[in-house]
Amino acid sequence: MQAKLQILAIVASSGLVLIVFELLRRRRLIERYALLWLGSSLLLLGLSIWTGLLEVISKAIGIVYPPNALFMIAFAFVLVLLMHFSLAISRLSGETKVLAQKVARLDKDMRDLSAAEDGEPLPGVSAEVEETVSN
Amino acid sequence: MGFLDRHPRSLAIVPAYNEEGNVRYVVEAIHAQAPDFDVLVIDDGSTDETATCAREAGAQVLVHPFNLGIGGAMQSGYRFACEEGYHEAVQVDADGQHDPAEIPKLRAGMREHEVDMAWGSRFLEQTDYKAPFTRRLGIWLFSVVLSAISRQRVTDPTSGFRLCNRRAIELFARDYPHDYPEVEGILMLHAHRLRAREVPVQMHPRRDGRSSITSGESIYYMVKVLLAIFVGLFRRRPVVDPGFEAPVAAERGI
């Protein structure tokens, strides 16, 4: 690999490592999401320093120009990270839904409680039904 | 009204996730063996009758709308203890591993050594504890790391059987770690110059059912916690002090 290109690759990947580390240190990023970023940026850093391994990999999968293998590996990591985010977003939207349902239920119970304090009948519950419930 | 206005009260925090088979026994054991402790069960999004069983056994219950994990559950407990003015809180696992009859040992250890937290160790004295290999590897690794950082002998860093005083409760109510919070919790205390100490205790095997952590997961947690420990070394203050920016705050800058 050309010296210029290698220097660029090393600077870029070590910059990524530093940014991820700094975000972790400032508690902006939690470990759960940092691990994949750290792993991929450290591997890219390793590959751009140790070009011998990169050449072995590119030969093994039939890539003539080794830096292309570096781009391919970086792209693969981007895909994995995107999938990771999709999973995280799915989980978060599930959690938000559960929270909203819980808040709605608590809101109703609060209104019913204050209505009962004022001696008003429960809105939406017919007197007949109430009687059978109390019996 | 401050918490000092009332007479000192103690709280047993029992984090429980799908433990309907054990939680009643644990709550009753705490009532019987440590009667001066109020019991708070955190139902961490269980899909079984954990909350009902805990209420029937006479515990106060906080129900999470979904599963937050052991760190989130314990922080709910410490928040409750902090807001309700409890002067000490003990964590007791809902699977029956921790014997409430050993709580006085923790208390004696805390008083004797004037520490802010005392936690029970299975390994300070010979016990018949058996664990899977990955779990023992994790315990060994964290013991070595924690002993080096905190400059005191740590033998059982993942033990969740721990008694905290008011200062430790206030710290943990503000900020509590996510995974294997026991390990990071010891470091948090150390970083804030609070003192902690191990006390030898006996523990039982789980009463009913199986632990939820597989060996693949424990390796993943091990890496994650080691990362958290490593990054923590580079923070001037690993957690916020009163008056600092909130742990969950609106975005500023990058």
Contact B96, B20 (CB under 8 A): no
Counting one residue from chain A and one from chain B, the pairs whose CB atoms sit within 8 A come to 35
User: Which own/partner contact pairs does A52-57 have at CB distance under 8 Å and 24+ positions apart?
Assistant: A54/A1
d(CA B69, CA B208): 20
CA distances, B27 to each of B13, B60, B252 (Å):
10, 10, 45
- Which positions in chain A touch B65 (Cβ < 8 Å)? 98-99, 101-102
pLDDT of residue A135: 47
pLDDT of residue A48: 87
ipTM: 0.73
Contact A38, A84 (CB under 8 A): no
The H or E element spanning position B205 is none
Query: Is the pTM of the predicted complex or chain greater than 0.80?
Result: yes
Contact B189, B172 (CB under 8 A): no
pLDDT of residue B78: 96
Q: Which among A25, A31, A34 is the nearest to B234, CB-wise?
A: A25
d(CA B118, CA B91): 11
Tell me, what amino acid is at B1? M
**Tell me: the pLDDT tens digits for A19-55?**
999 998 888 888 888 888 999 899 989 988 888 888 8
CA closest to A94 among chain B residues:
B66
Q: Which among B65, B178, B234 is the nearest to A30, CB-wise?
A: B178
d(CA A101, CA B245): 30
Helix (H, G, I), strand (E, B) or coil at B203: strand
**Planar angle of CA B108, B112, B117, nearest 5 degrees:** 70
d(CA A122, CA A111): 9
pLDDT of residue A63: 86
pLDDT of residue A130: 53
pLDDT of residue B112: 93
Q: Are strands B162-165 and B37-43 parallel, antiparallel or unpaired?
A: unpaired
DSSP state of B86: -
- Among chain A, residues having any CB pair with chain B shorter than 8 Å are 21, 23-25, 27-28, 30-32, 34-35, 38, 94-95, 98-99, 101-102
Ramachandran angles phi, psi of A132, nearest 5°: -65, -35
CA closest to A35 among chain B residues:
B224
Tokens of A77: 């990591």
Pick the residue of A20, A27, A91 with the most B CBs within 10 A to test the interface with B by mutation. Answer: A27
Helix (H, G, I), strand (E, B) or coil at B22: coil
Helix (H, G, I), strand (E, B) or coil at B30: helix
CA closest to B223 among chain A residues:
A35
Residues of chain A falling short of pLDDT 50: 135
Residues of chain B falling short of pLDDT 70: 1-7, 126-131, 206-214, 236-241, 245-254
> Does the beta-carbon distance from B224 to A28 stay under 8 Å?
no
Q: What separation, in Å, do the N-terminal and C-terminal C-alpha atoms of chain B show? A: 41
Which candidate, B176, B179, B194, B182, places its Cα nearest to that of B239?
Answer: B176
pLDDT of residue B213: 62
- Which positions in chain B touch A90 (Cβ < 8 Å)? none
**Tell me: the pLDDT tens digits for B65-121?**
999 999 999 999 999 999 999 999 999 999 888 999 999 999 999 999 999 999 999
User: Which own/partner contact pairs does A122-125 have at CB distance under 8 Å and 24+ positions apart?
Assistant: none
Ramachandran angles phi, psi of A21, nearest 5°: -60, -45
Q: How many C-beta atoms surround the C-beta of residue B227 within 10 A?
A: 16
Contact B100, B178 (CB under 8 A): no
Q: What separation, in Å, do the N-terminal and C-terminal C-alpha atoms of chain A show? A: 86
CA closest to B235 among chain A residues:
A25
